[in-house]
Structure 1
Amino acid sequence: MKAARFYDREDIRIDEVPEPTVGPGEVGIDVAWCGICGTDLHEYKDGPVFCPTHSTPHPISGETAPVTLGHEFSGVVYALGDGVEDLRVGDHVVVEPYIIDDSVDTGPDSKDYHLSENMNFIGLAGRGGGLGEKISVKRRWVHAISQDLPLDQAALIEPLSVGYHAVERSGAKAGDVAVIGGAGPIGLLTAAVLKAIGCTVVVSELSPLRRQKALESGVADHALDPTQVDVAEEVRKLSSDGRGADVAFECTSVQVVLDTLMDALRPTGVLVVVSIWAQRSNFDIHKLVMKEIDLRGTIAYVNSHPATIELVESGKIDLAPFITGKIAVENLVDEGFDTLINRNETAVKILVSPSGQGL
């Protein structure tokens, strides 16, 4: 079968690889669609980061480069391993793409398995990936979805779960004013979750195309251009008592955005850092102290998929507006990565069909 494989920085190849064996307790999935994530772009430009090297295997998967990429994917069950009795061939599914040591409690009450030692992701550190035509995944990480939910939209469940967990970390509730720094894919999907729970959402974004997408998709009530207005002042005007936002989400890893969000928050507000920072921040700790701001980090998701899927299946979130392109796996680098690296304001989520079906 075809698969997009990471060999090294700026070295991704479309290989012919053996189809996976579906072992006991595993689910064989025909991949329908796989999204390109910002993490994939970082691996391509700056990696290996999450991906193993040729000489250093990942401690849990045991795999070295090359590895198949892709962790945002949906598909159809084609085989069930021994012991899997609660799914059927033909079921539509998405994957919570974790690689976690078997000793870790990943049960429904766990709130920290995603923070376990050596945690990594299917499609980055081994065990196949969504940029291959087929994959076999442990039953624990497979989530059934309604057949009424289009599989292309379902491929966005994984990044939407990132937004869901970030909102959960913030403690946001209906009636709150929330401000988001950056209307890239994660910023927009975080906004979608906030709107779904009844928040007033303000987005700060340089790109006019992304501001337009935030408004047209209905996930933002206001989209501000930080080069034209004082974002903090505008947010204070939009809050009922003029004191600022209740919660803020940093989705850019840009220092000026972090500073702006700090200014836009009311005293005792919550600032959640969603983006991955490759450099140290020059953060104004004094301002944090004087406003008693809660600064919180968030990474990925933890037991977030069921609630995220429910938001989509109930119609509270429409993922269709965020799909801005569909390509074949053979065009992953020249049409997918190149667009998202060099013209990222023109796209939100580009989906890849490993098999070519649906194009």
Structure 2
Amino acid sequence: MARTAAAFQVKGLHMRAARYHGRGDIRIEELPEPEVRPGEVGIDVAWCGICGSDLHEYLEGPIFVPAPGHPHPLSGESAPITLGHEFSGVVYALGEGVDDIEVGQHVVVEPYIIRDDVDTGPRSRDYHVSADMGFIGLSGNGGGLGEKVSVKRRWVHPIDSAVPLDEAALLEPLSVGYHAVDRSGAKAGDFVLVGGAGPIGLLTAAVLKAKGATVAVTELSELRRQRALDTGVADHAFDPTQVDVVEEVKRLTGGRGADVAIEATSAQPVLDTLMNALRPTGVLQVVSIWSKPASVDLFQLVMKEIDVRGSIAYVNNHPDTIALVESGTIDLKPFITGKIGLDDIVDKGFETLIHHNETAVKILVSPSGKGL
């Protein structure tokens, strides 16, 4: 039987959350707990990751966050916004009409805000690029950097309790990698060059290895190159200041070149390298968020008939991604490099990822402090 939110809602209860007010301005504030409305699921947030898009907001924003006075058309909210879209948690309340999930169940969230008239069924391949699409934790509707959040049932994905909740928080960025690989068409036996061994580059490489591809990464940081090798997500790791990456790829592929290249840096030199390393009719898959225009060698694109594709977030990819982790095919534990509480989110979270990013992959935040 579905339980109404009213059965769980206690007026006057408050929680803490990290709120984005503007560029360089994140504050820990006290807010009322969310109301769990009909069709929604109340979630006690266990862990929330700090994403590259959160860093972009902090350094250059507002980008995805609606600026003050310009509310998001669906959430109706503008800054200040509760941040956090990479999170796991435990169900604490069920809104009226929700009867296929249980209180106490472990879940992750596909953090979309999408119009009610958009088809988000299992066969949809484009709801993630629908008009006015937004993200929980960037566009409003609460976020994973608050102690609690209420989310429409459609976007809540149960996970096996055998998957630790800290590792489960990485399922969202892993789904980004899964969608990028899906878009690229990479398959078993392909040689794939990944540009950048940051969080998305590493997790995309993990999906590629799970699918049977041979993976090489090009990365400036020695620590990141070594992590790619130590975690087993890369077969080869190149320092572009020491070797000619294009020649190394050709050597490893019998002169042919890479079948697929994944751009995960938003850096022009990396984009150029990937274009040069691709074989004729290869695929360049861009998964990074570029905050400035890039240049593309169109002569090479034409002469080699290269396909250039973009990917944003995910679309019906969570079930398959979750299955890879539940089956043990992908181990997410090695990618967790730090755990902090809300009060340390700027100094030990954002500042570390901005100024010492080679030492960290994914820093997780416990909004309640549990598990620290």
Where in structure 2 are the equivalents of 1:156-305 lying within 5 Å? 156-239=170-253, 241-305=254-318
- State the match for 1:313 in structure 2: 326
2:70 is aligned with 1:56: yes
Q: How many residues align?
A: 358
Deviations 1:298-356 (A, max 9, x none): 11100010000001111110000000000001110011000001111110000000000
How far is 1:11 from its partner? 1.1
How far is 1:45 from its partner? 1.0
Distance 1:178 1:151 in 2: 31
Superposed CA RMSD: 0.6
2:363 is aligned with 1:326: no
Deviations 1:158-204 (A, max 9, x none): 00000000000010110100000000000000000000000000000
Deviations 1:252-289 (A, max 9, x none): 11111111011111111111011111111121000010
**Counterpart AA for 1:6:** Y
Distance 1:278 1:9 in 2: 15
Distance 2:49 2:292 in 1: 26
2:86 is aligned with 1:72: yes
Where in structure 2 are the equivalents of 1:16-31 lying within 5 Å? 16-31=30-45
Distance 1:10 1:26 in 2: 32
**Counterpart AA for 1:229:** V
Distance 2:184 2:67 in 1: 35
**Counterpart AA for 2:160:** S
Distance 2:182 2:68 in 1: 38
How far is 1:242 from its partner? 2.2
Where in structure 2 are the equivalents of 1:126-141 lying within 5 Å? 126-141=140-155
Distance 2:57 2:184 in 1: 28
Distance 2:294 2:37 in 1: 45
Aligned counterpart in structure 2 of residue 90 of structure 1, from 77, 101, 104? 104
User: Kindly, what percent of the aligned residue pairs are identical?
Assistant: 73
SS at match of 1:17: strand
Distance 1:23 1:120 in 2: 19
Distance 1:254 1:37 in 2: 18
Distance 2:79 2:270 in 1: 36
SS at match of 2:348: helix
SS at match of 1:316: coil
TM-score normalised to structure 2 length: 0.95
**Counterpart AA for 2:105:** D
Distance 1:234 1:242 in 2: 9
